[in-house]
Structure 1
Amino acid sequence: MTGRIAFQGEPGAYSHQACRQAYPKMDALPCRTFEDAIEAVRRGDADLAMLPVENSTYGRVADIHRLLPESGLHIVNEAFVRVRINLLGVPGAQLSDIREAYSHLVLLPQCARFLREHGIEGRISSDNARAARDVAAAGDRSVAALASELAAEIYGLDILARNIEDSTHNTTRFLVMAREPDLRRRGEAGMMTTFVFRVRNIPAALYKAMGGFATNGVNMTKLESYMVDGSFSATQFYADIEGHPDDANVRLAMEELDFFTSSMKLLGVYPADPTRRKFG
């Protein structure tokens, strides 16, 4: 597929890596915020948006579940990307030279053991790719960035140490968004369906709403709740299930869900990433 794919962050960010990995023929469009990436697709400046939704180490990506239902876009694919963190320094620097390492707040704790063993102080940057860019601009051999191999390539930095993250299974799941849905496809690794819903104000409504998935043999891989508009009484649920709405068992489960909900919105029907089982 050709065209443009939007992502949040600077060139070299892990979302940029996800774009290159999943859509190598598309031009990646960096955007300042998730909202900007979504708007780029809505305006037609990009064909797709690559949005991270969860990480195996630090959990759900903030704000994404709130943005998806109101985005006006549809999930058309998912991608699982292994997060490999590298120590990047200016050309000629050695590991023994490094005294400080900059990166995003969520990356620093993931490399705590490596930083401690080498006497390196972790410093917070707004973005890991931004950290790499700043290190390249400063030219200080004692300062490094924690970022992707792609960031090293873009900003001309040396990789002083590879794969320094404490956890060997650090993986981020991304959702690919488009202006139009495509319900005709069938994936070789199966299909996923994502939706949000609110239950009716009756006793045990959530329990009853979920019953149809159990009785019809539909595997629900994710169910999360979050407040709507800051209200403690308005709760929306986000769900991922295996299967396609046209599948008989999924259709029956969704019909039962509809009976116990006050609202339900389909966010996407898309092929399961072939590596889902490995990372799940």
Structure 2
Amino acid sequence: MTKIISYQGEPGSYSHQACRESYPNYEPLPCATFESAVEAVRRGEADLGMIGVENSTYGRVADVHSLLPTSGLHIVDEAFVRVHINLLAVPGTKLSDVKRVRSMSILLGQCRGFLREHNLNTLNWSDNAAAARDVAALADPTEAALASELAGEIYGLDVLARKIEDEGNNTTRFLVMAREPNLTRRGKEGMMTSFVFRVRNIPAALYKAMGGFATNGVNMTKLESYMVGGHFTATQFYAEIEGHPDDRSVQLAMEELDYFTDHLALLGVYPAASRRHKP
């Protein structure tokens, strides 16, 4: 039986590309929202969920970190996708024919140099792959889309220009979610542990909570805060560290963290992706 991996976006999106690259033997399941992609896994309609969490140019994806702790799912993997942006148009179109380009504002903003050089008007669209789909439906050579080559393949569009992004290292990171955790693995590139916590209401609690990681030589790669429940005084932290909960150094650091928190929840233990260590 073919396994299924859900993702947020239209067929041909960069999330779809992440599924194809990281889980080529799974059938991708497009979902309209992050919530519906997570819900598909929770209900058993999908075995895994590919959830975009941050981009090297634009930072974290809004609301995802507040969604993960309440999802009831576990992080079991991470994936990185190099975001190459391409100009797509209906077959037979020449670059000189194109007058207007549509895509999400994020992608439009990453191709300012190319758009300015070719004097192209822009149209902000809800989704990059949807822009490619709609350009295919219009069948108008003056209209083009910015999207992945996968989107061009799916919707039958020609690639008029490849890799037109201004920055040469634009990358999106995804977390892979499952219904059950897997704590038995050890990755070739090391392990990552993700968790959320809220510190106790005492002076310098966060400073003291973080001290255990420094004294035990545990590298914290991410620490982000966000409000919970609409209260300014209820701040939750999302953190990622290098290591496995079974490592003695991690055990000691987490014990010290637990002493200064009133809520601590493990979200996932997963192998570090090889692309994490590449520039």
Structure 2 equivalent of residue 80 of structure 1 = 80
Q: For 1:250 and 1:107, locate their aligned partners in 2 and report how far apart those are by CA, in whole Å.
A: 39
Q: For 1:78 and 1:130, locate their aligned partners in 2 and report how far apart those are by CA, in whole Å.
A: 25
Q: How does 1:1-280 map to 2 (within 5 A)?
A: 2-279=2-279
Moved more, 223-232 or 82-91: 223-232
Cα RMSD (Å) of the superposition?
A: 0.9
Q: For 2:265 and 2:2, locate their aligned partners in 1 and report how far apart those are by CA, in whole Å.
A: 29
Residue 5 of structure 1: CA displacement?
0.2
Q: For 2:96 and 2:257, locate their aligned partners in 1 and report how far apart those are by CA, in whole Å.
A: 59
Q: For 2:155 and 2:94, locate their aligned partners in 1 and report how far apart those are by CA, in whole Å.
A: 17
Residue 230 of structure 1: CA displacement?
2.1
Q: For 1:231 and 1:113, locate their aligned partners in 2 and report how far apart those are by CA, in whole Å.
A: 42
Q: For 2:188 and 2:49, locate their aligned partners in 1 and report how far apart those are by CA, in whole Å.
A: 23
Name structure 1 gaps, 5 residues minimum: none
User: CA 1:129 to 1:52, structure 2 compared with 1: closer, same or farther past 3 Å?
Assistant: same
Q: Deviations along 1:175-203, whole A, 9 cap, x unmatched?
A: 00000000000000000000000000000
Q: For 1:8 and 1:27, locate their aligned partners in 2 and report how far apart those are by CA, in whole Å.
A: 14
2:106 partner SS:
coil
Whichever residue aligns with residue 222 of structure 1, its letter is K
2:278 partner SS:
helix
2:41 partner SS:
helix
Residue 2 of structure 1: CA displacement?
4.7
Whichever residue aligns with residue 9 of structure 2, its letter is G
TM-score by length of 2: 0.99
Whichever residue aligns with residue 171 of structure 1, its letter is T
Q: Deviations along 1:206-253, whole A, 9 cap, x unmatched?
A: 000000000000000000001112221110000000000000000000
Q: For 1:259 and 1:39, locate their aligned partners in 2 and report how far apart those are by CA, in whole Å.
A: 33
Q: For 2:230 and 2:191, locate their aligned partners in 1 and report how far apart those are by CA, in whole Å.
A: 33
Q: Deviations along 1:111-142, whole A, 9 cap, x unmatched?
A: 11110110011211110000000000000101
Equivalences, count: 279
Whichever residue aligns with residue 151 of structure 1, its letter is A
Q: For 1:236 and 1:122, locate their aligned partners in 2 and report how far apart those are by CA, in whole Å.
A: 39
Q: For 2:278 and 2:144, locate their aligned partners in 1 and report how far apart those are by CA, in whole Å.
A: 32
Q: Deviations along 1:9-41, whole A, 9 cap, x unmatched?
A: 100000000000000111000001001000100
Whichever residue aligns with residue 144 of structure 2, its letter is A
Q: Deviations along 1:27-68, whole A, 9 cap, x unmatched?
A: 000001001000100111100000000000000001100100
TM-score by length of 1: 0.98
Q: For 1:144 and 1:74, locate their aligned partners in 2 and report how far apart those are by CA, in whole Å.
A: 39
Runs of 4+ in 1 over 3 A off after TM superposition: none
Whichever residue aligns with residue 119 of structure 1, its letter is N
1:107 partner SS:
helix
Q: For 2:41 and 2:147, locate their aligned partners in 1 and report how far apart those are by CA, in whole Å.
A: 27
Q: For 1:259 and 1:125, locate their aligned partners in 2 and report how far apart those are by CA, in whole Å.
A: 48
Q: For 2:274 and 2:128, locate their aligned partners in 1 and report how far apart those are by CA, in whole Å.
A: 28
